[in-house]
Amino acid sequence: MENPHPKTEVKFTLEMLPELPEIHRVEAEHKATEAYVMTLLKHADISSGRAARLLGIPRLEVIELMNSYDISPFPMQTREELEHEVEELKRSFER
């Protein structure tokens, strides 16, 4: 059975930092993932709802993050796309 959610692996290489505390490495990896997802959101490759799912956070937190990444919460959208976003937001409030 084919995986319905294929994964993207992103790799980069840095100089070895053996003195780096594990908690700092984990935080840096989380921030790298966050930056990757937010860049996709900025270019409208994914929705804020999808960004929330990828990051494992509530959609409202994504909207707050958008500000720190200088991403407008009001991208150019068709009426149908905007209506879909509104419905998705309504559903998130109902949970």
pTM above 0.75, yes or no: no
How far apart CA 12 and CA 34 sit, in angstroms, is: 15
Q: What value does the mean pLDDT of the chain take?
A: 87
pLDDT class of 25 with cuts at 50, 70, 90: confident
How far apart CA 53 and CA 62 sit, in angstroms, is: 10
The 10s digit of each residue's pLDDT in 43-58 is 989 999 999 999 999 9
Residue 93 sits at φ, ψ, to 5 deg, of -75, -25
Which has the closest alpha carbon to 54: 7, 17, 3, 1?
7
Q: Does 17 or 58 have the greater pLDDT score?
A: 58
* Rg of the chain over all Cα atoms, to the nearest angstrom: 16
